């Protein structure tokens, strides 16, 4: 297993992508696969890496895990389609990790995670990482239709694997067409849950519209909010400015921003 060296040498690796073999590829749904690489990183949930295919392009992906590095990739365009054509033994060039991940708040031990589409990727790792720190967690996994839902089984497995105390983890699905779980948007379900259940912290990752709505609902209920925002990442080290959002350089200040 390869890993970035400790100390100053690790900083050198940030700007120098290196090739790491793909170990496994799993199909998650008709357009999403999870890749594990022969690489370990020092990282926290919510951070991302840049994946490079030489002479083609370089794109950001959230870490699903850092040991070994695990990436969930939804095929939406040229880069991700090319990644989907790769398999064990092929190499992916990686630099990172980058950005700020989720931070365990000083107060509040009841959380709700909201993931839309491939936004569930960092939340699965977060649910594992905080299983001993939180008293209760509700995970809302949302998508347009049932076949687009991602990682529901993996979230449910956390309870079976004993990562969470019995009854402390609840996994809910939500689809816009009602083919799985509640019918509607994740924000409809979130708003409904917050009228009856107590939550201290909202963590969310997904499309901008979803995050803005989650932010508004959380603000209305006076909740702490940690939202992972997407932007067009190029340098990933705060130089090019392509990832600016409302005065934040997301590759450095984010992608997880606190309280919106
Ligand atoms: C911090 C971060 C973490 C990410 N994590 C993941 C992940 O875990 N898994 C995953 O599959 N993808 C993730 N992405 C998104 C991924 O980097 C893009 O989907 C990538 O651009 C796909 O490249 P492509 O060439 O296949 O498609 P592109 O041609 O780049 O894009 C295809 C379509 O997706 C839209 N699109 C691309 N990027 C974005 C964006 N940032 N925001 C909104 N719309 C966009 C484009 O408008 C276009 O319609 C992440 C992005 C960021 C910034
Ligand atoms: S990607 Fe270049 S400044 Fe953030």
Ligand 1 and 60: CB distance under 6 A:
yes
Class of domain 110-258: alpha beta
Which atom of ligand 2 sits closest to the CA of residue 240? 2
Looking at the CA of residue 118, tell me the nearest atom of ligand 1. 9
Compute the distance from residue 161 Cα to the ligand 1 centre, in Å: 32
Q: Where are the alpha helices (DSSP H) in the chain?
A: 8-15, 78-84, 120-129, 152-160, 186-196, 208-220, 250-253
Does residue 243's CB lie within 6 angstroms of at least one atom of ligand 2?
A: yes
Could you say which ligand is closest to the alpha carbon of residue 46?
1
Q: Is the CB of 240 under 6 A from ligand 2?
A: yes
Query: For residue 29, what are the β-bridge partners?
Result: 32
| Mean pLDDT, residues 232-255 taken together | 94
DSSP string, 200-233: SEEEEES-HHHHHHHHHHHHHTT-EEEEE-----
Q: Phi, psi at residue 4, to the nearest 5°?
A: -70, 140
Please report the atom of ligand 1 found closest to the CA of residue 61: 5
Q: Is the CB of 72 under 6 A from ligand 1?
A: yes
227 lines ligand 2 (CB under 6 A): no
Residues 210-215 have a mean pLDDT of 95
Residue nearest to atom 10 of ligand 1 (CA): 73
Q: What tokens does 75 get? A: 């095929």
Domain locations in the chain? 2-98, 110-258
Give the alpha-carbon dihedral of 90, 35, 4, 43, to 10 degrees.
160
pLDDT at 158: 92
pLDDT-derived band at 106, boundaries 50, 70, 90: confident
Burial 130-156 (b: 16+ CB within 10 A, else e): bbeebebbbbbbbbeeeebbbbbebbe
Q: Report, as an integer, the average pLDDT of 79-86.
A: 98
Please tell me the distance from the alpha carbon of residue 70 to that of residue 34, in angstroms, as a whole number: 7
SS3 238: coil
Tokens for 46? 């919510």
| Range 236-241 contact pairs with CB under 8 angstroms and sequence separation of 24 or more | 236/48, 236/50, 236/60, 236/95, 236/96, 236/98, 236/99, 237/14, 237/15, 237/98
Mean pLDDT value across the chain? 91
CATH class of 2-98: mainly beta
More confident position, 72 or 8: 72
**Which one, of 217, 249, 210, 211, lies nearest residue 233 by Cα?**
249
Span of 29-38, 77-86, 190-199, 244-253 with lowest mean pLDDT: 190-199
**Taking phi first (over 0 means left), then psi (-120 to 50 degrees means alpha), and beta for anything else, what does residue 68 get?**
beta
How would residue 1 be classed by pLDDT, with cut points 50, 70 and 90?
low
Q: Is the CB of 245 under 6 A from ligand 2?
A: no
Within 13 Å and on the Cβ side, how many CA atoms surround 27?
5
Question: Does residue 6 carry a pLDDT above 60?
Answer: no
Q: Which residue has the tokens 């998650």?
A: 28
CA of 6 to the centre of ligand 1 (A): 30
> Would the pLDDT of 12 be above 50?
no
Give the confidence band of 15 by pLDDT, cuts at 50, 70, 90.
low
């Amino acid at each position: 297993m390869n890993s970035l060296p400790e100390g100053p040498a690790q900083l050198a690796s940030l700007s120098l992508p290196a090739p790491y073999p793909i170990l496994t590829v799993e199909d998650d749904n008709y357009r999403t696969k999870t890749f594990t690489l022969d690489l370990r990183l020092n990282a926290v949930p919510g951070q991302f890496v840049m994946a490079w295919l030489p002479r083609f392009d370089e794109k950001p992906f959230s870490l699903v895990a850092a040991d070994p590095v695990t990436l969930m990739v939804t095929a939406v365009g040229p880069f991700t389609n090319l990644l989907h054509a790769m398999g064990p033994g092929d190499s992916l060039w990686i630099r990172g990790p980058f950005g700020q991940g989720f931070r365990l708040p000083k107060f509040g031990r009841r959380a709700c995670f909201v993931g839309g589409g491939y936004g569930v990727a960092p939340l699965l790792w977060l649910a594992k990482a905080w299983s001993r720190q939180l008293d209760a967690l509700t995970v809302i996994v949302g998508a347009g239709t049932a076949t687009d839902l991602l990682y529901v089984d993996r979230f449910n497995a956390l309870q079976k694997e004993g990562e969470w105390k019995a009854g402390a983890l609840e996994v809910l699905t939500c689809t816009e067409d009602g083919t799985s779980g509640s019918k509607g948007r994740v924000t409809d379900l979130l708003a409904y849950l917050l009228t009856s259940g107590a939550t201290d912290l909202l963590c969310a990752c997904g499309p901008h519209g979803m995050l803005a709505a989650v932010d508004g609902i959380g603000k209305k209920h006076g909740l702490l909010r940690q939202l992972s925002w997407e932007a067009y990442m190029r340098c990933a080290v705060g130089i090019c400015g392509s990832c600016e959002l409302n005065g934040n350089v997301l590759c450095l200040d984010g992608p997880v921003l606190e309280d919106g």
